[in-house]
Structure formats: structure tokens, C-alpha cells
Structure 1
Amino acid sequence: MITEKAPGKLYIAGEYAVVENGYPAILVALDQFVTCSIEESEAEVGRIISRQYHKNALQWHRLGEQMVVDNRDNPFSYILSAIKVTEEYARAFARELRIFDLHIDSQLDSESGKKYGLGSSAAVTVATVKALCRFYNLPVTKDEIFKLAAIAHFEVQGNGSLGDVAASVYGGWIAYHSFDRQWLAQQRKYLDLRTLIELPWPDLKIESLKAPSNLQLLIGWTGKPASTSQLVDKISLFKARQQKEYHQFLEESKHCIQRMVDGFHNADLEAIKNEIRYNRELLKQLGINSGVHIETPILNKLCQIAEDFGGAAKTSGAGGGDCGIVAIDRNSNFKQVLTEWTANKIEQLPLSVHFIENIKGEIKHHLIKKNNKY
């Protein structure tokens, strides 16, 4: 049996802006995983088995008189897409396709089914691609795994930056600039998959970051899950209607992330904290302008408690629920934050940053080299 795993993620800053080509965000990979195990089937049928996902429900809505099913929050859609794309790649290497059983185990949702917003769809896509690449003995680097998983994920979701896929592939702290997904969709129609994987992708840039030694990351969960896809859809309407305000948000977010990346390079925790606070204000204003509830009252409370004890806090990801993150000096008495969170029914997620080794040299076209280190 072949087993591979992929970590969950959280956004630190740059949400919403990162869905535009070339705009940056900072993410972190966490030590909770989706594990994919694969073995050849002895029967004439294969199975996809998941302890967590068997009770998963589909969402649907009306479009006129039609019933439209939304697969974007269904993990099986990502698993099937990952299989389809990876097997297409395997055929390019003259591999004979086989029948197999696929076992999925996720730590990213709780035993009781709580969804924490840790990027389970990206992680299950990455884990499935990695396992199948080993199953078919495909010569892939992390760069190629990212591209395969990004294609598989995008063909289900249809929006988003794919930054969560990057975090699951490369691990640690990363600065991620989203690539041109319209270009990808167009080239997918005309190019064979192997050629598409080998090409440099427009605007894609990924940089590994080293956090200051005194940076303590705290993660709080609000108890309310949120649908990233649906929130991004709503922001797209604001983009179409108020282009000037949206463009101003993009530019301010870009400069904020650039300053935050400099904070990482200089091991300057205060600079990082200042930009987290600034990014929070940008997102709050985006929410007001668009009518999207990015920072809910409970997320506001989470942030305010952290600020009271010297931390810099904001929503993580699309907002509307899920998690908030805090950057705070690990030498401070940050446990006061956790005590106050508990008193306000905010659950601390006791997660750590997960690093993946052997990144060096594998992002062939896109990784920025800093001070002779990746």
C-alpha cells in the first residue's frame, strides 16, 4: 500500500486580492493532514473509501427552473478530479491504467464533523495526486505536483487563487502570487497535459519564508464554518460594479503584503504585526463596500481579545466564519489570549507550522532565491 499526506493551511494575509493574477498573499501550512492510501484492487471494481466524507451532502440551488448542483464543497469531486488529471498525466508516460482502492483519512475536520476551514479540498487533492504519482511511478517534483493538483482543483472550483494548494505542496510559510487561471483554462483546451505542466505559468511566483524566532502563531475557530467559493462569488459582483474601489483595494493589499514579506526577510515581528493589522482594515472595508460579512461579530471579538494582549489579529481566508489568526511575541504572556477566547466560546486550534523538506530547486521557474536560501 502506498500512503501520502498533505497538510492543511491558513491564510495569514492577502485574501481576496490574491485571486487576481500576480497579486500576493502569505500562507502557512499546518500539522494536520489529509492522508491518501492506495493499493491495487483484487476485484474488477475500485473503491474510494473515506471515514469522514461518507456523510457529505451536496448543495444545490435553482437557476430558473433548473436544479444546479454545487460540487465545490464536496471532497469527492476533488478526489475524482485529481484521479482524472493524474491518470491523464500517467498516460503521457505510457503507463497502463489500473484498478485500485483509495482510502482517504482527514484530520482537517473534527471527529464530530466540524469544518475548521483549513483547506481540506486542497489537501485532499494534493494527497491524491501524490499517492497516484507514486502508484504509477511518475517522475515528478513538487513543482509538477503543484501544477497537477492546481489543475484538478481549479477544474472543480472554477475560482480561487490555488494558494491553498501551494501551501499543501510546499509547506511552511510561503508568499504566493497567483497565476493566470484564464490562460490555464485556455491552454488546457489545446495543449497536451505534459506540455502544459512543463511550461512556465504566467504570474506564478512562490517564495519560502522564514518566520522570526519570536513569532508565535495563534489560531482561533469561531464555531461557524464558511463557504469560500460562495463568498468569492459575492466579491466578484462587487468587482464588476465598483471597479475603481476594487482596484484600489488590490493595490493597497499588494503593497501591504510586500511590506510584510520584508518583515519576514528582516525577522521583524513588529513590522509583520503592523501589516496584519493594516490588512485586517483593508478586508473590513472591502466587506463594508461589498456587503459581504467578512469579519463577523465573533471574529471581531477574537481579534479584539488578541489586540488587548499585544497581538495582531485578523480573519483568515474568506472570513464569514471559520478561523482568525494572531501573530504575537512568544515571550509575552499570550496564554491570556487563550483564556479569554475560551471564556467567549472561541476554540483554540493547537496547531503548529508544518515544514516539508527538499523544496530547493524544485520550483523551476517561479521560486525567488533570497540570500542564497530558498
Structure 2
Amino acid sequence: MITVKAPGKLYIAGEYAVLEPGHPAIIVALDRFITVSVSEATLQGTINSRQYAETDFHWRRSGDQMIFDNRDNPYHYILEAIRVVETLALEMGRPLKIYDLDINSQLEDQGGRKYGLGSSAAVTVATVKALCQFYELPLSRMDFFKLAAIAHFNVQGNGSLGDIAASVFGGWIAYSTFDKDWLRTVLQTNTFGEILASEWPGLKIELLHVPNELELLIGWTGSPASTSRLVDKITIAKFAEHEQYQHFLAESQKCVQKMINGIRNHHLPIVKAEIRHNRQLIKDLGFFSGVTIETPALQELCRIAEDCGGAAKSSGAGGGDCGIVLTDHTVDQARLISAWNQQQITTLPLSVFQLTEASV
């Protein structure tokens, strides 16, 4: 049996602007994981998930095709990850096999509500890594990113794929997305091997080393949000409010780049100041686009954190889910957490996950 895990993620800064090539975001990988196990089977394969225990998913082969009943299928990201890896495996001369996949996730609460930690990205990355090991495909981390990004993009159709990068590389990363139109074109004309070997236009992934005194607190509002739907709404505003949207992009790029430089130079006051600046930019985006990004619960989360001396903002697409706070020794975390509890904001006991060779 082969078992791999992939971490969840949270955005620190640069949301929405990161959808455009050349506009950076800062993302962290977190120590909550999706685990995927693969074991060879014979006549029939299965996909099992503790999160979908009521779904009995069986499949078989007809030639190189997977045959299954698509009704009530919750495994779209997994199946696309399988398709992408197996296409590459065939290109590399590997015979396809039948196997069982077992999935377990730590990215939801006990009731199955998602925390907004990028579960679809993590399960895509974990499935890609597990099957690449299963088929003995000698790939680099960047190859894992590219394969998982292709699979995720094929299902979702939008997004920056920064959550894929965080899940593959771990730690703190600065990320700029690639040209999606280029990817759509080469997927129609090139082999996966050729696409993996290509330089992806606009793609940048840089590992960041944060100041030792910086600490990250994460609050969960208990209200899940749909990233793809929020992104679709912002895309409408991109064209309807073109001038304001272009101003937002330019200001976000300057803000996040200052933050990246502050992290590189271990200058925490700059990092905290730009977190606050980025929060305002995203609130402005929500206002002129008519999209509720910072919900009342997220606004209260940030108010409490700022009153305690932290630098806070919503994380990711907003509309619910999580907010983040950057703190240091000047912040009374106990008072902050107590105030959050009084407002039914849950402090998630998470740490940044640093990838090591042993965890690849």
C-alpha cells in the first residue's frame, strides 16, 4: 500500500488579484491533511472516503478507460486527478492497473463542514502524488504542481491554483499564477510530458522565510463559502467596473510586493501594515463589485484582533470561512481568543506545515 498526505492552506494576502498573471499572493500550508492510500486490486477498484461513507463507488477497466456509474458521484477532483496521471503514465509506457483508493480528510469539522482550507486542492494533490508513486513516475515537486493544477483547473474552470502550490510546496510561499489561456491551448495540442517540461508563462513560486517573532492565528466563523461562485461574481465586476478593477489590481500588486519584501527583510511592522492595507483593498473590491467578501462575522473577527494589537483580514475568497491575524509578543493572544469565543468565532489550533524530504 502507498500512502501520501497533502496539507490544507490559507491565503494571507493577495486574494482575487492573484487570479491575474503577474499579481502575487502570499499563502501558507497548514498542518491539517488529506491522506490518500492506494493498493492494487484485481477485477474491480473502489474509491472510499470517510467523508462520503454513504457513497459506494466501484469502478472497472474497459481497455484503458475507467467505467463507473456517474450518478451521485462526489469524486470529481479525484477522478480528474486519476485521468491526468494515467494519461501521463500511458505516455511513459506504464500499463494501467486496477486499485483501491482510500481518502481521509482533516479539513472539516466533526459535522462535515469545511473550514475553507482548500480541501479540493489538497485531495487533488494527494491523489496525484499517490498515483505517481503507484505507477513509479519519477516527477519533481514542480511536476506534481503542474499535474494537480491541470486536474483542478479542468474541474473548477477558474481560480489561481495557488492552493495547489501551497499543498505541494508547504510553508509560506509567494505565488503568481500562470496564463490560463496558454494552458487551455497546450492541453489541446501537446502531450502531458511536453506540458510538464514547458515553462508556464507567468508562473512564480517562491518559498518565504518569515520573521521568528511572527505568529499566525486563525479564526473560523463557522459559515462555509463557495470560492468558485464568489470568483465568478468578481469576474463579472472585472468587466463591468473595469477602471476600478484595474486600480485594485495595481494597488494589490504594490501592497503584496511590499509585504513579500518585508518578510524577506524580517521587518514585521511593514508586514502588519500591508496586511491592514490589503484588507482595505479587498473590502473596496467587495463594495464596488457588490459582493459580500468581509461578512459581519469576519468584520467582528478583525475588529477584536485589531483591538488586541494584531493585524487581521479575511482569508481567501471571504464570504465566510476563516480570517487570519498576524501577531507578535505585543499581542495578548489569550484575551483575543477569549473575545473571539464570546462571539462564537472558533480558534483553529493550526500551525504552518513545513515540507521536508521525508514528507514529500
TM-score range, shorter chain: over 0.9
Deviation at 1:53, TM superposition (A): 2.7
The letter of the residue matching 1:41 is A
**Map of 2:23 onto structure 1:** 23
**Cα distance in 2 between the residues matched to 1:9 and 1:2:** 23
Distance 2:74 2:342 in 1: 33
Question: Runs in 1 of length 4+ with deviation above 6 angstroms?
Answer: none
Deviation at 1:243, TM superposition (A): 0.8
Q: Which residue matches 1:238?
A: 237
State whether residues 22 and 180 of structure 1, in contact with CA within 8 Å, keep that contact through their aligned partners in structure 2. Answer: no
In structure 1, how many angstroms separate the alpha carbons of the residues matched to 2:314 and 2:325?
Answer: 9
CA-CA distance at 1:352 after TM superposition: 0.2
- Kindly indicate whether the alpha-carbon contact (under 8 Å) linking 1:92 and 1:194 is maintained by their aligned counterparts in 2: yes
1:127 — aligned with what? Answer: 126
Identity rate, percent: 58
Instruction: Compute the RMSD of aligned alpha carbons.
Output: 1.5
2:210–2:263 contact (8 Å) kept in structure 1: yes
SS of equivalent residue, structure 2 residue 331: coil
1:156 pairs with 2:155: yes
Deviations, residues 218-249 of structure 1 (Å, cap 9, x unaligned): 00000100000000000011011111110100
Q: What residue is the counterpart of 2:138 in the other structure?
A: 139
State the match for 1:298 in structure 2. Answer: 297
**Counterpart contact for 1:178–1:204, Cα < 8 Å:** yes
Aligned-pair distance for 1:338? 0.4
- What residue number does 1:50 align with? 49
Runs (5+) with no aligned partner, structure 2: 56-69
Alignment gaps of 5+ in structure 1: 57-70, 363-374
Q: Give the corresponding residue for 2:9.
A: 9
Q: Give the equivalent residue in structure 2 for 1:225.
A: 224
SS in structure 1 at match of 2:111: coil
**Structure 1 position 122, deviation (Å):** 0.2
CA drift of 1:187 comes to 0.7
Match of 1:179 in 2: 178
1:252 aligns with 2:251: yes
Given that 2:31 and 2:352 are in contact with CA atoms closer than 8 Å, whether structure 1 keeps it comes out as yes
The aligned runs of 1:290-329 (5 Å cut-off) are 290-329=289-328
Q: Show the counterpart of 1:282.
A: 281
Output one character per residue of 1:24-82: Cα deviation in whole Å (capped at 9) or x when no partner: 1000000000000000013x1100000113458xxxxxxxxxxxxxx9xx861100000
Report the AA paired with residue 29 of structure 1: A
Is the CA contact 1:214–1:331 (under 8 Å) kept in the aligned structure 2? no
Q: 1:49 to 1:233 in 2, by over 3 A?
A: same
Q: Is the 8 A contact 2:5 2:126 kept in 1?
A: yes
- What is residue 108 of structure 1 aligned with on the other side? 107
Partners of 2:241 and 2:54 in 1: CA distance: 40
Name the aligned partner's letter for residue 38 of structure 2: I
Alpha carbons of 1:79 and 1:94: their partners in 2 closer, same or farther (altered >3 Å)? same
Contact 1:218 1:348 survives alignment (8 Å): yes
Instruction: Tell me the residue number matched to 1:67.
Output: none
Q: How big is the shift at 1:111?
A: 2.2
Tell me which residue corresponds to 2:349. Answer: 350
Q: Please give the alpha-carbon distance, in whole angstroms, between the structure 1 residues aligned to 2:97 and 2:135.
A: 9
1:276-297: CA deviations, max 9, x gaps? 0000000000000000000000
Residues of 2 paired with 1:331 and 1:304: CA distance?
A: 17
Q: TM-score, normalised by structure 1?
A: 0.90
Change (3 A) 1:6 1:330: farther
Q: Is 2:309–2:330's contact at 8 Å kept on the other side of the alignment? A: no
Judged with a 3 Å threshold, the aligned counterparts in structure 2 of structure 1 residues 116 and 55 are, in CA distance, closer, same or farther, namely farther
Letter in 2 for 1:34: I
Distance in 2 between the 1:339 and 1:83 partners? 44
Distance in 1, matches of 2:286 and 2:195, equals: 37
Aligned partners of 2:129, 2:330: CA distance in 1, in Å?
Answer: 38
Structure 1 counterpart of 2:318, which letter? Answer: G
Letter of the 1:298 counterpart: A
Cα contact 1:11–1:316 (8 A) shared by 2: yes
User: What is the rounded CA distance, in whole Å, between the counterparts of 1:333 and 1:311 in structure 2?
Assistant: 9
Q: How far did residue 22 of structure 1 move?
A: 1.9
User: Which AA in structure 2 matches 1:24?
Assistant: P
The residue that corresponds to 1:41 in the other structure is 41
* Mapped partners of 1:213, 1:55: distance in 2: 45
The 3-state SS of whatever aligns with 2:93 is: coil
Q: CA deviation at 1:332?
A: 3.3
Alpha carbons of structure 1 residues 255 and 358: separation in structure 2 relative to 1, 3 Å: farther
Letter in 1 for 2:120: S
Query: In the alignment, is the contact (CA less than 8 A) between 2:36 and 2:127 conserved in 1?
Result: yes
- State the shift of 1:194 in Å: 0.4
What letter corresponds to residue 220 of structure 1 in structure 2? G
- Residue deviations 1:252-283 (CA, integer Å, cap 9, x gap): 00000100001101111111110000000000
Write the distance in 2 (CA, Å) between the matches of 1:55 and 1:322: 26
Does residue 340 of structure 1 match 2:349?
A: no
